[in-house]
Amino acid sequence: MRVVVITEPPVILPIVDAKEHLAIDAADTHDDGKIAAYVAAATAHIDGPAGWLGRSLGKQTLELRRCGFPTWIDLQYGPVLSVVSVKYDDQDGNEQTLDPSLYVVHGSIVARAPGASWPAVRQGGESVRVRYEAGYDDGKVPTPIIQAIKLIAGDFYRFTESATMGAVNSVPMSDTAERLLAPYKVWHL
């Protein structure tokens, strides 16, 4: 089983807010490209299937790909906003779309509707694909997460090199950023 990003999320920290955090005048556009890249890197470090948090921040479209139908399907990297489609490869290998009346969605769980059964699928990897929207609605990302992104981007801005005179000088996530994010971290087994 794996989850892939189909539609990337929008920027959740506007550059004007990042510049305010860095105490840079909004009219000074000299480092805007660099700051935008640092914000994107900080966000990517914690967001979505590849991120440290184990959850989606900005609204994005994800697709869970798995072998066959289990009793229920747990959609990871929420919050789950909606299920777009459930597709599967039938026993002949033809892609089919499951009728939404055959399943129900409870938060992040997709289960068979009462009295329904899952269709027979082709044997092999990724024969079932659930496409869904996940992340927070615009402007609804929790404040501690936004603050952590500001702190991480600020570290990138202030410490632009990863090594100094042969010594490794990495810029890990600060203890403060990690503590801000910890209550939102989702552990996947």
Residues 92, 48 share a domain: no
Instruction: Please tell me the predicted confidence (pLDDT) of residue 162.
Output: 65
CB 108 within 8 A of CB 80: yes
Residue 10: which domain range? Answer: 2-56+138-184
Could you tell me which residue, 124 or 44, shows the higher pLDDT? Answer: 44
The predicted model gives 138-152 an average pLDDT of: 96
- Quote the pTM value: 0.89
Residue-averaged pLDDT of the chain: 92
Per-residue model confidence as pLDDT tens digits over 64-119: 999 999 999 999 999 999 999 999 999 999 999 999 999 999 999 999 999 999 99
Band the pLDDT of 172: cuts 50, 70, 90. low
Q: Classify residue 189: in a domain, yes or no.
A: no
HSE at residue 67, side-chain half, CA atoms within 13 A, is 4
Tell whether 49 is covered by a domain. yes
**Rounded percentage of the chain residues whose pLDDT exceeds 90:** 86
Domain count of the fold of the chain: 2
Q: Is residue 50 part of a domain?
A: yes
- Same domain (yes/no): 45, 83: no
For residue 125, the model assigns a pLDDT of 87
